[in-house]
Amino acid sequence: MTRMSQSRPYHHGDLRAALLESAERTLREKGAGSLSLRELAREAGVSHAAPGRHFKDKQALLDALALVGYDRLARALETADEPALPLQPRLTALSRAYLAFATQNPELLALMYARKHEPEAAEQMAAGVDRTVGSFERVIADAQRRGEIIEADPERLTLFTGAALHGIASFTAGGMLDATAALGMTEDLIHHLLHGLRPR
């Protein structure tokens, strides 16, 4: 008798998309450690070898998920950005979009920032970082050209901004902050980053 795993058809409307959707659901509900190409194949109703046509191993699947995250975050930031605005409201809108993504997708964000990736994915990962984190750096560099903030290394200033945002996202993921409260403090956060804590 032919085993069930061998009798399942390979053909699928869009197997890669179906695998990624199922993988993201597993990531959110159970964590990256629970991801298995064989289990994803079972859920999709295809042979256990079929996912190999799209992902050579689990790390390739994780890299593909991270790229999905970068694409989604980039779209959110692009939608939120209004270049005509002064720096503070512009940076606030971008930061709120970042925090909304981060608080809704903590597991995916952690995967995006993981250091382990296949060498073949390095160029795409770098492009993903440029479309997301790089957008903050470009906003800061634009503000420097307009004289809105101090002359300093834009990359370093972006790191400070990113560290503050990621810290709030981490507190939210850990249950120390409510997601609504985290989003609600974005304006104050950016105000304090730009103006400091000294009385004026």
Q: What total number of domains does the chain contain?
A: 2
* Residues 6 or more apart in contact with residue 22 via CB below 8 angstroms: 40, 43, 44
95 lies in the same domain as 188 = yes
Q: Confirm whether 3 is domain-assigned.
A: no
pLDDT value for 49: 66
Strand ranges in 6-135 using DSSP code E only, listed in sequence order: none
175 lies in the same domain as 142 = yes
- Locate 3 and state its tokens: 């085993």
Q: How far apart are CA 94 and CA 165, in angstroms?
A: 11
Q: How far apart are CA 79 and CA 81, in angstroms?
A: 6
pLDDT value for 32: 84
Are 124 and 66 within 8 A, CB to CB? no
- Which one-letter DSSP state was computed for residue 32? G
* Residues 6 or more apart in contact with residue 165 via CB below 8 angstroms: 95, 98, 99, 102, 189
124 lies in the same domain as 30 = no
Q: Confirm whether 4 is domain-assigned.
A: no
- For the chain, how many residues are written? 200
pLDDT value for 13: 57
Q: How many CA atoms lie within 13 A of 155 on its CB side?
A: 2
Q: How far apart are CA 142 and CA 103, in angstroms?
A: 28
Distances (CA, A) of 170 to 162, 176, 178: 12, 9, 11
Residue 38, domain CATH: 1.10.10
Residue 160, domain CATH: 1.10.357.10
Are 43 and 24 within 8 A, CB to CB? no
98 lies in the same domain as 16 = no
pLDDT value for 45: 65
131 lies in the same domain as 85 = yes
Give the residue numbers spanning the domain of 137.
Answer: 57-195
35 lies in the same domain as 100 = no
168 lies in the same domain as 71 = yes
Q: Consecutive 10-residue runs of the chain (200 residues): their mean pLDDT?
A: 39 74 88 79 69 76 92 97 94 97 94 85 93 95 93 94 95 93 95 88
